Amino acid sequence: GVHIFQWMYGCEWDDEIDERNWFCQWGYDGEDFISFKLKEEIYVAAKREAEIITHRWNQNRALIEQQKYYYQICIKWLQKFVDYGRSSLMRTELPSVSLLQKEPSSPVTCMATGFYPGGATLSWRRGEEELHEEVEPGEILPNPDGTFQMSAALDLSSVPPEDWSSYKCVFQLSGGQEVPTSLDRKRITTNWEG
């Protein structure tokens, strides 16, 4: 019958602490078969049937040197790719924030769009107190240009308009500065006139 032999290898690099990892393994008919341990410089059988192969491979110093070479090349290429993408991947872009309301009885939606990276929070506050019960949070969604958007709707049905000034929508990128937007009727884009 037909059998499948697979080979998979790769590397990981933490550029902050310069930690490097390597994996190299073979599979046979969809199951783990052999792996190579770089630190020990040894092939290890995952199944008894692979022991005869690992014994031969472990006797072949050229094969072991080849694995070490693959590791070095993998790390070099990974470092190049990270450097090429760093300016794009490590950038931060703050959003434009809008307040939207369909009609006077509708919730006010705070919409933040155009931010990067995707890890962010969007919340409503009354003074410094973060609100939860009156808020319907939205998901972080991708924009076609590679940035992100999200929204959070605030139910103001029980809040008199004169108290609106104590409310604000607050956007924050992970660990970054807060971008507050005060609730002001003049800033709200609506579908109604009034």
Q: For residue 23, count other CB atoms closer than 10 A to its CB.
A: 15
Residue 133's domain spans which residues? 96-188
Q: Reply yes or no on whether the pLDDT at 136 is more than 60.
A: yes
Distance CA 36, CA 87 (A): 35
Mean pLDDT of all residues in the chain? 93
pLDDT digits (tens, 9 = 90+) for 148-172: 999 999 999 989 989 999 999 999 9
Bridge partner residues of 37 (DSSP): 42
Q: Which pLDDT belongs to residue 30?
A: 93
From the list 94, 95, 98, the residue with the least C-alpha distance to 108 is 98
Determine the pLDDT at residue 104.
85
- How far the first Cα of the chain sits from its last, in Å, is 77
Asked which of 90, 122, 147 is the last residue of a domain, the reply is 90
* Per-residue confidence (pLDDT) for residue 194, from 0 to 100: 56
Nearest to 115 by CA among 87, 151, 81, 85: 151
The verdict on 125 and 173 lying in the same domain is yes
Q: Residue 155 carries which DSSP code? A: -
Residue 194 lies in a domain: no
Specify the number of domains making up the chain: 2
Strand-pair category, 178-182 with 167-173: antiparallel
CATH number at residue 171: 2.60.40.10
The one-letter amino acid at 112: A
The pTM of the full predicted model, rounded to 2 decimals, is 0.59
**Residues 34-52 pLDDT 10s:** 999 999 999 999 999 999 9
Q: Does residue 118 share a domain with residue 48?
A: no
| Omega prior to 117 cis, within 30 of 0 | yes
Using pLDDT thresholds of 50, 70 and 90, give the confidence band for residue 90: confident
